[in-house]
């Protein structure tokens, strides 16, 4: 057996795990090469497409990363993480209207993804759909009550919508989590001190 190369069907699997290992070692360029080789040898390897997309996004190659996540989703339309990552990249590229359905699909696949609810809220807010955005941020806050950033976003929405009582309540909630962020809310949205 010594010196034998892995058989054709085994090679993509070995390369995939090698790529994961390289990623953990923070050897991103080599991991990118490994995942690229997997997708060339086995274009139906969904997880390799997803890992490739993640690494391409890290390098700022958004168009190629978007394409990789689209390929991953064509192979497994129920993958919540790939839906989230694709939507996040679209959002990062300023394509909020396109990001919204991706966040919604991620949530349908896994309703416990607080970051998908948060991302949905951001894209809805950018699209001017403020009441819907508030619902997204509220759900993100319910799922991660220790995270004050959904509260910061909610405070901004309540300010824009003229809902001062809700703004004050959100300020109080955030104040219990992060005093500096609460002070930013107070100053930015013109709340009187307590």
Q: Is residue 99 part of a domain?
A: no
Instruction: Classify residue 178: in a domain, yes or no.
Output: yes
- In the chain, which stretches have pLDDT less than 70? 1-9
Evaluate whether residue 23 is within a structural domain. Answer: no
Q: Is 175 within a domain?
A: yes
Structure confidence at residue 145 (pLDDT) = 95
Residue 39 lies in a domain: no
Residue-level pLDDT at 169: 96
How confident is the model at residue 194, as a pLDDT? 73
User: Which residue range is the domain that position 186 belongs to?
Assistant: 145-194
Q: What is the pLDDT of residue 8?
A: 56
pLDDT value at residue 11: 87
Inside any domain, residue 12: no
Residues with Cβ within 8 Å of 62's Cβ and at least 6 positions away in sequence, in order, are 56, 89, 92, 93
What is the per-residue DSSP string for 67-128? HHHHHHHHH-TT-HHHHHHHHHHHHHTT-HHHHHHHHHHHHHH-TT-HHHHHHHHHHHHHTT
**What pLDDT does residue 5 have?**
41
The answer as to whether 116 is a domain residue is: no
Residue 14 within a domain: no
Tally of structural domains, the chain? 1
The pLDDT score that the predictor gives to residue 170 is: 96
Q: What is the pLDDT of residue 193?
A: 83
């Amino acid at each position: 057996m010594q010196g034998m190369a892995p058989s054709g069907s085994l090679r993509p699997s070995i390369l995939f795990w090698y790529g994961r290992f390289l990623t953990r070692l923070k050897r991103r360029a080599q991991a990118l090469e490994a995942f690229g080789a997997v997708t060339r040898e086995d274009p139906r390897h969904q997880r390799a497409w997803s890992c490739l997309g993640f690494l391409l996004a890290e390098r700022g190659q958004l168009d190629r990363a978007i394409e990789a996540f689209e390929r991953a989703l064509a192979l497994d339309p129920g993958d919540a993480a790939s839906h989230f990552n694709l939507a996040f990249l679209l959002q990062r590229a300023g394509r909020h209207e396109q990001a919204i359905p991706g966040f919604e699909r991620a949530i349908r696949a896994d309703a416990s993804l607080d970051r998908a609810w948060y991302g949905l809220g951001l894209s809805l807010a950018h699209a001017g759909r403020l009441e819907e955005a508030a619902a997204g941020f509220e759900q993100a806050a319910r799922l991660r009550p220790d995270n004050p950033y959904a509260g910061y976003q909610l405070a901004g929405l309540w300010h824009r919508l003229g809902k001062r009582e809700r703004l004050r309540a959100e300020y109080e909630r955030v104040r219990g989590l992060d005093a500096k962020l609460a002070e930013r809310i107070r100053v930015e949205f013109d709340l009187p001190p307590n």
